[in-house]
């Protein structure tokens, strides 16, 4: 029997942890696109298990070809993107085994993706796994837990939905224009990071904007929609815009796409200060201590450290070339032994 996913009058969603591990605030993720919430707001998990579970019931609406990212849509319409690790798209599926396919209905706790944590840790930037809401306009508030969580058991994220979100027709008047063919230069295509940059650039414009790949079309202001196009390196795409600033949108976004959206391995893109290339590539700022009694460490990824800290200093011992009398030297030795004791 196939269950139909229908919209429910639910004001709160309580999501169970998709992995066991340590919760990490999304702002601390060492990837500016996630840390600046360009993809969406949410939380990260430093995993201790190797099965990504469904945090809520829903439909699989996006599964990346590299199997490192999956999105489910809940019956309430919330889109949850789960991204295993950082820069894992470059593994091209190695270390990942999907257990679902596009269009599958899943229940809370179902296995979505199995992954080899040892392999990923050795070949990717980080194992930190992000869970973000990509359509945050449907969420009034978000609360997350902290500390360690157990997969499939602990509630790690609670969403309060915005009021009734009826189907509002967004009327945008103005001209319609379309770009010429654009060849995508990104080494791994439009995965989550460049897709998020494109979405944030597109949101500056009032016009409706779409990205075309062949006979497929996606809303250029939706990360999930862009990921669903599965645009790879060298693919040819076109942009379409309709609205009062359509021409400006097409001109700016065409140049951004051609130059790689600021991603390494592609030509730099001129972007607004909020998502400039230097900010995208720069590491998260490290706090500095002005107190000599406080030591600040630099971690590869935020987590928990348990134990004692010790301050190591090198002591310079000066020894006189010539000694004093035996009696004086003995008194110095006895004083030193007493001080050491």
Give average pLDDT by consecutive 10-residue segment, the chain, 341 residues: 42 93 93 89 95 96 92 94 93 94 95 95 93 91 91 94 57 79 88 87 90 90 86 90 90 90 59 39 59 69 68 79 85 91 88
Neighbouring CB atoms inside 10 A of 150's CB total 14
Q: What pLDDT does 195 receive? A: 87
Entry pTM: 0.65
Task: Write down the pLDDT at residue 262.
Answer: 79
Q: What integer pLDDT is reported at residue 118 of this predicted model?
A: 93
pLDDT given for residue 264 in this prediction:
66
Q: What is the C-alpha to C-alpha distance for residues 268 and 235, in angstroms, rounded to an integer?
A: 19
How far apart (Å, rounded) are the C-alpha atoms in residues 191 and 197? 10
pLDDT of the residue at 173: 64
Which helix (H) or strand (E) is 43 found in, with range? strand 41-47
Q: In what order do the strands lie in the sheet with 139-144?
A: 12-16, 155-161, 139-144
Contact 58, 107 (CB under 8 A): no
> In this structure, how many other beta carbons lie within 10 angstroms of the beta carbon of residue 101?
8
What residues are labeled active site? 83
Which pLDDT score is estimated for 149? 94
């Amino acid at each position: 029997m196939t269950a139909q996913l229908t919209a429910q009058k639910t004001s709160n969603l309580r999501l169970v942890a998709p992995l066991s591990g340590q919760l990490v605030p999304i702002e601390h993720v060492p990837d500016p696109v996630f840390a600046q919430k360009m993809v969406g707001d949410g939380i990260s998990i430093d995993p201790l298990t190797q099965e990504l579970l469904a945090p809520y019931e829903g439909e699989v609406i996006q599964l990346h070809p590299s199997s490192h990212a999956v999105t489910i849509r809940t019956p309430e319409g919330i889109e949850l993107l789960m991204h295993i690790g950082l820069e894992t798209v470059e593994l091209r599926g190695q270390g990942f085994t999907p257990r679902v396919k596009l269009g599958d209905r899943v229940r809370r706790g179902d296995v979505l993706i199995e992954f080899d944590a040892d392999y990923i840790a050795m070949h990717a930037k980080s194992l930190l796994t992000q869970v973000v809401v990509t359509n945050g306009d449907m969420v009034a508030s978000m609360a997350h837990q902290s500390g360690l969580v157990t997969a499939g058991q602990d509630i790690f994220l609670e969403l309060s939905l915005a009021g009734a979100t009826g189907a509002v027709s967004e009327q945008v008047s103005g001209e319609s224009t379309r770009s010429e063919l654009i060849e995508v230069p990104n080494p791994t295509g439009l995965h989550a990071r460049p897709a998020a940059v494109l979405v944030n650039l597109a949101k500056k414009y009032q016009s409706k904007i779409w990205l075309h790949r062949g006979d497929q079309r996606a809303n250029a202001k939706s990360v999930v929609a862009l990921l669903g196009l599965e645009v790879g390196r060298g693919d040819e795409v076109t942009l379409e815009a309709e609205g009062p600033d359509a021409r400006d949108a097409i001109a700016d976004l065409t140049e951004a796409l051609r130059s790689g959206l600021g991603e390494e391995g592609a030509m730099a893109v001129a972007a607004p200060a909020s998502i400039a290339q230097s900010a995208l590539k720069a590491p998260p700022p490290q706090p500095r201590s002005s107190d000599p009694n406080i030591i600040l460490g630099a971690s590869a990824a935020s987590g928990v450290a348990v134990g004692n800290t010790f301050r190591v200093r090198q002591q310079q011992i000066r020894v006189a070339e010539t000694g004093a009398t035996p009696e004086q030297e003995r008194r110095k030795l006895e004083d030193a032994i007493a001080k050491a004791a």
